[in-house]
Amino acid sequence: LFRSKLPAKITVSEIKRQAHGYPSDEEEEEQKNSVFPAAALESRPVNLVPLAIDVHSDRTQKELSPAEKGTLLHSVFQYLDFASIISDKNSGRIASAVQQLAENKMIRMDEVPVLETYFDKIDEFSSSALCARIVAAEQKKGAGPFREIPFSITTNVGESDVSLIQGMIDCWFIEEGSAVLVDYKSDKIQGTKEDKARILTERYEVQLDYYVKAIEAASGLPVKERIIWLIPDGLSFLIAAPGKIQ
């Protein structure tokens, strides 16, 4: 019934909000229609197709909104060289890596102070088993990781119409002949780990379903895991698949 009401063109994030009926400011979701400066694309190879650039020159002159913080954190997780960070045993390795991003114009220099409160959380990710798997994939030819991948897919609406679904996949990589989907979230969720797993599933299972469909259609590989990395908690959540979208 819900899908029969889809417009001709819609983003995955909007589908998720409509499906669960909560306002867009309830979670700290990133602004998926933002891309990063051209200098960043030249400085390090990434799998990113530019969409529409949206530069807010005064964004750091006031407190960033939750969505803007999410966007900034996504840019950091996209561009940081975690393989180098893992091999660096210095206590200030995250601060140095983030400073290098600013010097290479991958992020703005005045955004560095905003990120300081997240240095420990970024370090937790760099020490995680998930990060080790991503870095391992990076060492294998053609295994990824594939970061910030825009996609468009169609889905049937009613008996004769179709709707165009657009979105951006944070990260996926190939492991033992299957794909692994990773989605970074900056939501601040109260409760136990079980509570957070339930809330994340309720909020994002529809979104992840479309990501899975796009990856499987493009790669021909099955997606064996759908993982959300919750940045403020430094925890990974394996989101069970309720079923493929037909």
Q: What pLDDT, on the 0 to 100 scale, is given for residue 35?
A: 33
Q: Distance from CA of residue 234 to its chain's centroid?
A: 15
pLDDT at 161 over 60: yes
**Beta strand 161-175 pairing with 178-185:** antiparallel
How far apart (Å, rounded) are the C-alpha atoms in residues 120 and 198?
A: 25
- Please list, in sequence order, all residues whose beta carbon lies within 8 angstroms of the beta carbon of residue 166, skipping any fewer than 6 positions away: 9, 10, 11, 12, 150, 151, 152
Q: Mean pLDDT score of the chain, rounded to an integer?
A: 81
pLDDT at 201 over 90: yes
The arithmetic mean of pLDDT across residues 46-65, rounded, is 51
The confidence band for 13, taking pLDDT boundaries of 50, 70 and 90, is low
pLDDT at 57 over 70: no
Q: What pLDDT, on the 0 to 100 scale, is given for residue 45?
A: 39
pLDDT tens readout for residues 33-51? 333 333 443 433 334 344 4
pLDDT at 56 over 50: no
The confidence band for 163, taking pLDDT boundaries of 50, 70 and 90, is confident
Query: Count of alpha carbons within 13 Å of 176, Cβ hemisphere only?
Result: 3
Give the pTM. 0.76
Q: Are 158 and 152 in contact (CB under 8 A)?
A: no
Q: What pLDDT, on the 0 to 100 scale, is given for residue 154?
A: 84
The arithmetic mean of pLDDT across residues 212-228, rounded, is 96
How far apart (Å, rounded) are the C-alpha atoms in residues 152 and 210?
A: 10
Q: What pLDDT, on the 0 to 100 scale, is given for residue 159?
A: 77
The confidence band for 63, taking pLDDT boundaries of 50, 70 and 90, is confident
The confidence band for 66, taking pLDDT boundaries of 50, 70 and 90, is confident
39 vs 206 pLDDT, higher one: 206
